[in-house]
Each structure stands twice: as structure tokens, then as C-alpha cells.
């Protein structure tokens, strides 16, 4: 759970008095650090309110006392309302980010004339990330440009984070990425201003829960490994 929602859980244990005349959104926002009224909206469940920050979603009781983490499912329709909401939030954030991400701050594998571009959150030690990268020539031969963002799932200070830093600090990042994905130890002098923390923050904002996670140009998110042939065919049909 993020520090935001950890704080929300603590604050919800000690609800403050609501300001007279305040809306429910305003009253709840006043009790949760870092949350604004626009982050809060009603759910179909009476007395239960959604709190959405980035692509993260939790629920609060109307009195601010109880915080609920988990999925809200409509048993009549079978729809997972939490997944649908998180997907919409992710697409919105990804669409905004796609216009600001800079190739110079990523490790990029590209054909000469790409027809499609995907941005992939990757962990060097993730098995399916390695499987995806093992087919990188297949992706590029099908006109797909692959831009990597580092997302070491174990977080700062982990071996995966150190490996990502080493790849970035290598004179040939593409070669280092490929060798690292094969399990080779990458030795490179430490360098300043690596983008790993920046990428990790972006992934956190998007609610990355596993890798690889593929972000399309229009902001749509694909979770997990997708074979090159399948991804190319699907992109061509869009």
C-alpha cells in the first residue's frame, strides 16, 4: 500500500469533525493528507465513496472512519467496477505521459521506419520481461519500436535496481540491456542522473503491479507479455 493510503488508513481511524455546510467530498478530503475533493466520488454503494489518486483506488465510508482496499464488483452484471475505474485512470494518465516521455531518457530498440511505438515497463530480473526481450528483433522487424522504462519491482536498493542503473551507465545501453536480460553481470562505473527513480515514480503513478506492462501510443495498457506476431497484428488492426 502506498504511503498515501497508509496515511489515509491512520487518519480514518480518527475522523475530524466535518465543517458545517461542507460537501461529503470536502469533508473526506479534509481527513486524508494529499487528497483533494476532486479525487473523491460517489460509488453505486450507498455510503461508500471512491478515493482515486493517480491510478490507485480505495474506498472510504461516508463518515471517514472506515477505509476499504479491494475490488468492488457488481454481482448483477459481473462487472469489476474497480478494475474498470483503474483502467480508465491508467489510460488517462498514460495518454498524458506519452506526449512528455523523452526517448533520450529510455532504452530504445527501433526499426529504421517504425509503424508503431510501445513503451514497456520492465524489470531486468522478470522472467516474462526476459522472454519479451528475447524476441526484440521480432518486434522491430514487424515495425514496432520498443521504448523501455525501468521498473525494478523490488524497489530502491534492490539488485534489480542496481542492474538497471548499470545498464543505463553503460556506454552501449542497448547491448547492456540485452546482456543483462540474458543474466550477464553488467559492470559499469556509476553515473549521475540515471532515470530509474523517475521511471519508478511514473510506474507508481500508473499503478504498475507487474512487469512487463505495455503502454500503447493512445494510452491503453496491456498487462504482461504479448508475442511479437500477436502484438503487431493487433496494432495493425487498430
3-state secondary structure of 73: strand
Lowest mean pLDDT among 20-24, 112-116, 150-154, 232-236: 20-24
Specify the pLDDT at position 166: 98
Specify the pLDDT at position 21: 60
Specify the pLDDT at position 218: 82
We find that the CATH architecture of domain 3-80 is Roll (3.10)
Average pLDDT over residues 142-146: 98
How do 73-74 and 144-150 pair as beta strands?
Answer: unpaired
CATH (one of 3.30.565.10, 3.40.30.10, 1.20.1440.230, 2.130.10.10) for 97-237? 3.40.30.10
Q: Is the pLDDT of residue 120 over 90?
A: yes
Q: Write down the H helix ranges in 135-193.
A: 136-141, 159-169, 173-181
Query: CA 68, CA 205: separation in Å to the nearest integer?
Result: 20
Q: Is the pLDDT of residue 195 over 50?
A: yes
Query: CA 94, CA 217: separation in Å to the nearest integer?
Result: 8
Specify the pLDDT at position 206: 86
Q: Write down the H helix ranges in the chain.
A: 3-13, 24-31, 81-98, 127-134, 136-141, 159-169, 173-181, 196-206, 228-237
Q: Is the pLDDT of residue 15 over 60?
A: no
Domain boundaries, the chain: 3-80, 97-237
Specify the pLDDT at position 51: 93
Residue 6's pLDDT band (boundaries 50, 70, 90)? low
- pLDDT tens across 67-103, in order? 999 999 999 999 999 989 988 888 888 777 776 789 9
- pLDDT tens across 17-56, in order? 455 567 999 888 888 887 888 889 999 999 999 998 888 8
Query: CA 1, CA 131: separation in Å to the nearest integer?
Result: 29
Average pLDDT over residues 182-200: 95
Query: Model's pTM, two decimal places?
Result: 0.76
Pick from 6, 8, 88: nearest CA to 49: 8
Amino acid at each position: 500500500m502506498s504511503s498515501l493510503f497508509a496515511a489515509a488508513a491512520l487518519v480514518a481511524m480518527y475522523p475530524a469533525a466535518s465543517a458545517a455546510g461542507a460537501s461529503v467530498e470536502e469533508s473526506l478530503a479534509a481527513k486524508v493528507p494529499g487528497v483533494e475533493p476532486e479525487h473523491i466520488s460517489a460509488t453505486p454503494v450507498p455510503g461508500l465513496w471512491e478515493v482515486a489518486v493517480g491510478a490507485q483506488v480505495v474506498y472510504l465510508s461516508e463518515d471517514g472512519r472506515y477505509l476499504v482496499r479491494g475490488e468492488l464488483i457488481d454481482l448483477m452484471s459481473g462487472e469489476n467496477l474497480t478494475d474498470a475505474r483503474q483502467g480508465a485512470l491508467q489510460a488517462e494518465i498514460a495518454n498524458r505521459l506519452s506526449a512528455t516521455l523523452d526517448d533520450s531518457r529510455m532504452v530504445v530498440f527501433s526499426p529504421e521506419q517504425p509503424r508503431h511505438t510501445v513503451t514497456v515497463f520492465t524489470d531486468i530480473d522478470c522472467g516474462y520481461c526476459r522472454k519479451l526481450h528475447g524476441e526484440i528483433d521480432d518486434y522491430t522487424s514487424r515495425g514496432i519500436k520498443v521504448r523501455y522504462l525501468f521498473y525494478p519491482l523490488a524497489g530502491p536498493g534492490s539488485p534489480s535496481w542496481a542492474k538497471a542503473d548499470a545498464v543505463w551507465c553503460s556506454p552501449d545501453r542497448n547491448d547492456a540491456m540485452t546482456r543483462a536480460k540474458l543474466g550477464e553481470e553488467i559492470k559499469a562505473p556509476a553515473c549521475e542522473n540515471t532515470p530509474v527513480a523517475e521511471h519508478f515514480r511514473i510506474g507508481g503513478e500508473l499503478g504498475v503491479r507487474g512487469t512487463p506492462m505495455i503502454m500503447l501510443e493512445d494510452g491503453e495498457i496491456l498487462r504482461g507479455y504479448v508475442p511479437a506476431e500477436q502484438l503487431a497484428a493487433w496494432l495493425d488492426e487498430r
